[in-house]
């Protein structure tokens, strides 16, 4: 019985040390990142959309969807636009969970204060709440790269985004983050 108890204490000590080390390394890597280019797969209520994005800290993103309607999503840091051939929507960034995901200082602070809620051999996930937003962030355990997120969007739809082909700190055109006109 004493051996089992001792084993459990040692196991929890090392798993907590490992978790703390991974969190520390994720924070260190995130601190280094200025921008991320990636392919994505987005699942909103079982509707799958794919495309490419460039995320520039703080709070800027440009995404082109692989759709015939030429859908783009752009944030300039304060507003974001979703534009297609036939539609144009503009939103204040602060009203969305994207405002938090694109805020590196917020992410660093939140991750440093939280414990991972899920971890396996490939993924470490953090869950946090801010105002009325619940956000789950997923990191690759091996590369420590952001692998995706899960949120609820403006229309109360479950939104899950998975990232692939991730490139960090690439040279990018800042013009990409200018909001498109409604024409």
d(CA 42, CA 133): 18
126 part of a folded domain? yes
Residue 154: per-residue pLDDT: 65
16 part of a folded domain? yes
Residue 18: per-residue pLDDT: 53
Query: 121: how many CB neighbours lie within 10 A of its CB?
Result: 6
Task: Tell me how far CA of residue 6 lies from CA of 3, 15, 19, in angstroms.
Answer: 5, 14, 20
166 part of a folded domain? yes
Angular region, 148: left φ>0, alpha ψ -120 to 50, beta rest: left
- Reduced to 3 states, what is the DSSP secondary structure of residue 97? coil
Residue 11: per-residue pLDDT: 37
53 part of a folded domain? yes
Residue 13: per-residue pLDDT: 38
Residue 8: per-residue pLDDT: 31
The sign of the torsion formed by the CA atoms of 114, 149, 117, 12 equals: negative
d(CA 42, CA 149): 10
46 part of a folded domain? yes
Task: Tell me how far CA of residue 167 lies from CA of 25, 77, 130, 173, in angstroms.
Answer: 18, 21, 28, 15
182 part of a folded domain? no
d(CA 62, CA 177): 6
pLDDT along the chain (183 residues), means of 10: 36 45 94 97 94 97 95 96 96 92 95 88 92 90 96 83 97 94 87
Residue 42: per-residue pLDDT: 96
Structural domain of residue 127, as residue ranges? 2-177
What CATH number did the domain enclosing 40 receive?
2.50.20.10
Query: In total, how many domains does the chain have?
Result: 1
183 part of a folded domain? no
The pair phi, psi for residue 35, each rounded to 5°, is: -155, 160
156 part of a folded domain? yes
Residue range 23-62, pLDDT digits in tens: 999 999 999 999 999 999 999 989 999 999 999 999 999 9
């Amino acid at each position: 019985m004493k051996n089992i108890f001792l084993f459990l204490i040692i196991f929890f000590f090392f798993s907590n040390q490992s978790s703390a080390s991974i969190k520390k390394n994720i924070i260190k890597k995130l601190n280094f990142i200025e921008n991320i280019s990636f392919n994505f797969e987005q699942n909103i209520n079982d509707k799958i959309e794919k495309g490419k994005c460039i995320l520039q800290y703080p709070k800027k993103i440009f995404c082109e969807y692989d759709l015939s309607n030429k859908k783009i999503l752009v944030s300039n840091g304060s507003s974001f636009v979703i534009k297609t051939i036939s539609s144009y929507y503009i939103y204040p960034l602060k009203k969305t969970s994207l405002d938090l995901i694109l805020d590196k200082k917020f992410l660093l602070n939140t991750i440093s204060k939280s414990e991972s809620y899920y971890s396996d051999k490939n993924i470490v996930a953090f869950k946090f709440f801010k105002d009325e937003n619940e956000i789950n962030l997923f990191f690759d355990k091996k590369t420590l790269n952001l692998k995706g997120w899960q949120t609820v969007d403006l229309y109360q739809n479950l939104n899950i985004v998975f990232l692939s082909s991730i490139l960090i700190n690439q040279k990018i055109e800042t013009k990409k983050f200018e909001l498109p006109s409604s024409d």
